[in-house]
């Protein structure tokens, strides 16, 4: 019943344009553990009013099956600022339609009345003890995309088998229910609640438990620039600084207000590095700021840059900031916990493709480190299990600039990460140390961890499948490569098939998934490289790391060795020319 998408379909029918219709209606978007992520537009392959109604009807039936008290507890729904003029879709409209679906079945909905950061949804699930949460966002994807991200009652993103159960329920509930399109009905419903002001107040109260140096914050002369890259983060980071008694950061004026067109950037993704930060650098130079904090559009990720003594800007990788935050959060914990035995109940987590620096810190300091599969759904769920056993999970991170610094949110949170980074920098400044100098000190103490990651773009699933099949049948059937150029392979873990050469029974310990590709190679020189497909973008990603024991200070030699390993990986395992892969830089 959306006049815009309906008109597009009628026009294509009149033209007899079977090709376009096939594209729109040939296959339904797949609902996975990341929920939905696709372009907004017409047909069942896109995000639009109809597919949102169908998805929510399925999710609603699945929740009814799992929770006898769903009508008492309810769900929370949040949204970002994305909008798509030609199809009439927007995050706010989708959130209202989803709300209408639940309310029509007598289920209370806590719908945020305005845009919020993604972490506010899992926070609300936990804080109000709700059954589930939905966030309508496509995070840092291109402007035409949108997404539907789902949280379970434990405050973490869903993991299998919930995705399969929800997917099946969507298939069984495709015809819109009688009042599905009439979202105006929600405005007068007693089942509609707005958690905006309560949650905002409580969230900033909760993150203050991670504020340890209020006096330093009040007096610091360090200046910060913040950009929300046309997303939702501006207001919330300003409030977070206020909660920590820090002077507000300078906001990049051209990017501080939400704008679904993202007019100043090619991709609204701070992970892409300096291109997204051009305006931030200019403002920092003008205002004499030393540190830049950049959130992605839904404010669950954080990139950080620091001006070096040379005048150059250093953009920290996700692994480098993970090392700094891990060191900082543990140091603050240690200073506030005098009982030496308490460290045995302390945990930190990171994903298997992230740097193992936390493992090195844990070994020396006596706390526990665990690695999980890629993605915060795994870290959030594992953190909750540990917390339920009375353990303290201080920190979790992934190299894709995602950080969980505060146990009140079981997902990555760019707002708390931004303000905690600012406090850390302010503290270090009182010791005449920059973030870069402290990073070197961390590596000096716990061993250098040099990492390098990138990706190739590939729009053809067949090519991707073939590339990974070749790696599994490298020297004849069921044989993995024994070397990569001059680098000898000493171990292989394949989390698609469940094979791990380092285990006595050759079975991987981490959960396996046949639907995504992921192979990790360990090399005789101590290097590790993982190749995997992305769940939300047409990319084949790789991650590599060389770790040195403390005392090995020849960083340049380590970097050179890793560069050569990565070149060999690209040449022999990716074969970009043969497979027609597009490099990140292109």
Give the whole-angstrom CA distance, residue 5 versus residue 208.
46
If you count them, how many residues does the chain have?
A: 586
Give the whole-angstrom CA distance, residue 497 versus residue 512.
7
Query: Under DSSP, is residue 279 helix (H, G, I), strand (E, B) or coil?
Result: helix
Give me 112's structure tokens: 């945020």
Closest CA to 425 of 334, 350, 321, 354: 321
CA atoms within a 13 Å half-sphere pointing along the CA-CB vector of 319: 20
What does the buried/exposed string (b/e) look like for 318-357 if buried means 16 or more CB atoms within 10 Å of the residue's CB? bbbbbbbbbbbbbebbeeeeeeeeebeebbbbbbbbbbbb
Give the whole-angstrom CA distance, residue 419 versus residue 439.
18
Tell me, rounded to whole angstroms, the distance of Cα 196 from its chain centroid.
23
Q: Find out whether 342 and 335 touch, Cβ atoms under 8 Å.
A: no
Annotated catalytic residue, options 45, 90, 91, 139: 139
Query: Is residue 351 flagged as an active site residue?
Result: no
Residues 6+ apart with CB under 8 A from 54: 170, 173, 174, 176
The dihedral built from the CA positions of residue 472, 475, 477 and 478, taken in this order, carries a sign that is negative
Q: Please give the backbone phi and psi of residue 125, each rounded to the nearest 5 degrees, phi first.
A: -55, -50
Q: Find out whether 139 and 298 touch, Cβ atoms under 8 Å.
A: yes
Annotated catalytic residues are 139
């Amino acid at each position: 019943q959306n006049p815009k998408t309906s008109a597009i379909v009628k026009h294509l029918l009149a033209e007899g344009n079977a090709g376009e219709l096939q594209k729109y209606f040939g296959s339904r978007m797949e609902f996975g553990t990341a929920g939905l992520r696709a372009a907004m537009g017409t047909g069942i392959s896109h995000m639009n009013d109809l597919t949102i109604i169908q998805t929510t009807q399925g999710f609603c039936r699945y929740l009814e099956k799992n929770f006898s008290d769903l009508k008492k507890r309810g769900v929370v729904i949040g949204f970002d600022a994305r909008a798509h003029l030609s199809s009439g879709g927007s995050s706010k409209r989708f959130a209202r339609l989803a709300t209408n679906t639940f309310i029509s079945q007598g289920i209370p909905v806590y719908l945020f009345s305005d845009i919020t950061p993604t972490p506010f949804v899992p926070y609300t699930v936990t804080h109000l003890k709700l059954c589930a949460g939905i966030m309508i966002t496509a995070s840092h994807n291109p402007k035409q995309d949108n997404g539907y991200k789902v949280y379970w009652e434990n405050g973490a993103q869903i993991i299998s088998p919930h995705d399969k159960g929800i997917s099946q329920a969507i298939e069984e509930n495709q015809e819109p229910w009688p009042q599905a399109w009439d979202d105006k009905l929600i405005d007068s419903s007693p089942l509609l609640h707005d958690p905006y002001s309560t949650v905002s107040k409580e969230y900033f109260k909760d993150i203050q438990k991670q504020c340890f140096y209020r006096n330093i914050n009040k007096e610091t002369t360090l200046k910060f620039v913040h950009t929300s890259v046309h997303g939702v983060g501006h207001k919330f980071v300003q409030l977070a600084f206020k909660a920590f008694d820090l002077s507000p950061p300078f906001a990049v004026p051209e990017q501080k207000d939400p704008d679904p067109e993202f007019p100043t950037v090619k991709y609204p993704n701070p992970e892409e590095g300096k291109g997204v930060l051009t305006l931030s650098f200019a403002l920092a130079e003008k205002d004499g700021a030393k540190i830049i904090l950049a959130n992605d559009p839904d404010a669950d990720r954080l990139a950080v840059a620091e001006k070096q003594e040379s005048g150059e800007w250093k953009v920290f990788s996700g692994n480098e900031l993970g090392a700094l935050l891990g060191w900082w959060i543990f140091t603050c914990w240690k200073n506030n916990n005098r009982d030496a035995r308490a460290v045995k109940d302390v945990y930190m987590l990171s994903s298997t493709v992230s740097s193992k620096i936390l493992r090195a810190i844990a070994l020396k300091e006596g706390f526990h480190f665990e690695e999980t599969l890629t993605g915060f759904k795994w870290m959030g769920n594992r953190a909750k299990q540990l917390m339920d056993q009375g353990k303290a999970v201080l920190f979790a991170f992934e190299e894709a600039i995602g950080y969980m610094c505060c146990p009140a949110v079981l997902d990555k949170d760019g707002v708390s990460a931004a303000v905690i980074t600012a406090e850390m920098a302010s503290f270090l400044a009182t010791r005449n140390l920059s973030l870069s100098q402290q990073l070197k000190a961390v590596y000096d103490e716990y061993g250098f961890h040099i990492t390098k990651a990138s990706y190739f773009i590939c729009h053809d699933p067949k090519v991707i499948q073939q590339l990974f099949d070749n790696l599994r049948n490298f020297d004849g059937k069921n044989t993995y490569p024994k070397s990569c150029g001059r680098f000898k392979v000493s171990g292989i873990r394949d989390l698609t098939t469940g094979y791990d050469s380092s285990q006595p029974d050759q079975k991987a310990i981490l959960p396996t998934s046949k639907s995504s590709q992921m192979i990790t190679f360990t090399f005789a020189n101590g290097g590790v490289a993982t190749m995997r497909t992305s769940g939300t973008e047409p990319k084949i990603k790789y991650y590599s790391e060389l770790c040195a024991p403390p005392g090995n200070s020849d960083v340049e030699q380590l970097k050179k060795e890793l560069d050569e390993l990565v070149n060999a990986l690209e040449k022999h395992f990716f074969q970009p020319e043969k497979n027609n892969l597009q490099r990140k830089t292109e």
